[in-house]
Amino acid sequence: MLILAAGFALWCAGHFLPSALPGVRERLIDAIGEGPYKGLFSLDAALAIVLMVIGYQQAAFVPIYDPPAWGVHLNNLMMLLAVWLFAVGGAKAWIATKLRHPMLTGVAVWGLSHLLVNGDSASILLFGGMLVWSLGMMWMINRRSAGWAPPRWGGWGAEAKAALLSLGVFAVIVFAHGWLFGVSPFPM
């Protein structure tokens, strides 16, 4: 579980520190340039994700609570919602004009949905941690910049793009989930 915790800590450090200490972020950009800064940020995020996946796969199963049987079905619906929330932000779909943080809300829905079907300690750290992280990021962003200018609606093309992207990514997640974690999201 140490690898999982290290990945989560790296993820939080890479995301919270620039938000909590924007002056440090700006000084670093001034010192090395915006491109290298973005490269370091991306490297941190990629390494954090790899460590979290490997750490989660290797973590011992220590049960904490018994998830409800109906949680599997609700999890799948919530995952479709989470993927859609990710897509609407980039596509400028209508909901992105009303919801300030669609991607972070998607992470929160992802974390909560997985806590419905996983009651072990590693899952609580990963999914519960990402849920708390996303809520914390929303709070920090709102605190740092109170004003919000919603994006302009991208029209029906944006809605179609978000829907198609969501369905495609959801299909990839369903396929890769069994391969990566050995568990199918759809029980037989």
Q: pLDDT tens, 115-170?
A: 999 999 999 999 999 999 999 999 998 888 878 888 888 889 889 999 999 999 99
Residue 49: the pLDDT is 95
Residue 185: the pLDDT is 82
Residue 91: the pLDDT is 77
| Burial call 116-131: b when 16+ CB within 10 Å, e when fewer | bbbbbbbbbbbbbbbb
Q: How far is CA 134 from the centre of its chain?
A: 7
CA distance 45 to 43: 5
Looking at the structure, do residues 79 and 120 belong to the same domain, yes or no? Answer: yes
Residue 147: the pLDDT is 84
CA distance 181 to 62: 16
> Are 106 and 83 spatial neighbours (Cβ–Cβ below 8 Å)?
yes
Whole-structure pTM value: 0.89
Residue 146: the pLDDT is 77
Mean pLDDT of 173-178: 87
CA distance 4 to 23: 29
Residue 188: the pLDDT is 64
pLDDT tens digits for range 28-62: 889 999 999 999 999 999 999 999 999 999 999 99
Max Cα separation, the chain?
A: 55
Looking at the structure, do residues 22 and 101 belong to the same domain, yes or no? Answer: no
Domain around 136:
62-188
Exposure on the CB side of residue 16, measured as CA atoms within 13 A:
13
Looking at the structure, do residues 53 and 66 belong to the same domain, yes or no? Answer: no
Looking at the structure, do residues 107 and 188 belong to the same domain, yes or no? Answer: yes
Question: What's the DSSP call for residue 150?
Answer: P
Question: What's the DSSP call for residue 155?
Answer: -
pLDDT tens digits for range 62-78: 999 999 999 999 999 99
Confidence of residue 112 (pLDDT cuts 50, 70, 90): very high
Split into its structural domains, the chain has a count of 2
Looking at the structure, do residues 41 and 108 belong to the same domain, yes or no? Answer: no
Amino acid occupying residue 103: M
